[in-house]
Amino acid sequence: ETGVTQSPTHLIKTRGQQVTLRCSSQSGHNTVSWYQQALGQGPQFIFQYYREEENGRGNFPPRFSGLQFPNYSSELNVNALELDDSALYLCASSPVPGRSYEKLFFGSGTQLSVL
Amino acid sequence: SQQGEEDPQALSIQEGENATMNCSYKTSINNLQWYRQNSGRGLVHLILIRSNEREKHSGRLRVTLDTSKKSSSLLITASRAADTASYFCATDQRDDKIIFGKGTRLHILP
């Protein structure tokens, strides 16, 4: 167990709706990264938050947005859901922002299905 | 886009045999990591090798890194049924973000 918790574990939405996914980072970790993993693919980097500020973003449209709170927990919001947004969304925390010698600690993910 | 590409995409071996997976990447890195994922759950960190290292061991795992060829390999010795999982290599980008490959799906046959 990594100490990173995500909620909910599963979610079903319809196209056009909005969704909020939540993540509690491991104690002492001030950096949270979000990844999208489509079936049979590797995790794709969405963005990273460090001390409540976005600290890098992957190739995702603006309808993917996030927040980080003072306790370092984080939210991923997706507006105007599309069918292709169906995926496993993974949250990962680390003690420093993406420092190259630090490993990521992952939660178990939220499986989002868009119908 | 994904930085690393694992090879093969899928691998089935008998229990007790060794499993080798390869990863190629495109740009300069500071380190390369390997992660394991069991059936759509979260990823678990296995091992990290820095760009100035050539080989690293952890239990039954052996990782090599060849920066001149921009490639790495993960060897799992004496495989067990519990090793059945997907394995991903991950590399850091210049802005320190960690980017994953598409993975190798390993199946250990009894």
Q: What is the pLDDT of residue B2?
A: 55
Q: Would you call B44 an interface residue with chain A, using a CB distance cutoff of 8 Å?
A: yes
* Joined tokens for residue B27: 């740009």
Q: How far is A14 from chain B (nearest CA, A)?
A: 22
Asked whether the beta carbons of B1 and B98 are under 8 A apart, the reply is no
CA distance A92 to B43: 9
Residue B67 burial by CB count (10 A; 0-12/13-18/19+): exposed, middle or buried? middle
* Total length of chain B: 110
Question: Do the Cβ atoms of B42 and A106 come within 8 Å?
Answer: yes
Contacts of A50 (CB under 8 A, 6+ apart): A30, A31, A68, A97
Work out the percent of chain A whose per-residue pLDDT is above 70: 93
* Joined tokens for residue B54: 């050539």
Q: Would you call B42 an interface residue with chain A, using a CB distance cutoff of 8 Å?
A: yes
Asked whether the beta carbons of B23 and B72 are under 8 A apart, the reply is yes
Q: What is the pLDDT of residue B27?
A: 86
Q: For chains A and B, what is the number of CB pairs under 8 angstroms?
A: 70
Q: Would you call A44 an interface residue with chain B, using a CB distance cutoff of 8 Å?
A: yes
Q: Would you call A1 an interface residue with chain B, using a CB distance cutoff of 8 Å?
A: no
Position B101 pLDDT exceeds 70:
yes
Work out the number of other CB atoms within 10 angstroms of the CB of residue A83: 10
The region of weakest confidence among A106-110, B37-41, B55-59 is B37-41
Mean predicted confidence (pLDDT) in B74-82 = 97
The region of weakest confidence among A3-12, A41-50, B9-18, B86-95 is B86-95
Cα A54 from chain centre: 12
pLDDT, one tens digit per residue, over B43-74 is 999 999 999 999 999 999 999 999 999 999 99
Q: What is the pLDDT of residue B48?
A: 93
CA distance A19 to A11: 9
Torsions phi, psi of A28, nearest 5?
90, -5
Question: Do the Cβ atoms of B43 and A99 come within 8 Å?
Answer: no
Question: Do the Cβ atoms of A42 and B92 come within 8 Å?
Answer: no
In A1-104, the DSSP E strands lie at 5-7, 10-13, 19-24, 31-37, 44-50, 53-57, 64-68, 74-78, 87-94
Contacts of A29 in chain B (CB under 8 A): none
Chain B, 52 to 91: residues with Cβ < 8 Å from chain A are 88, 90
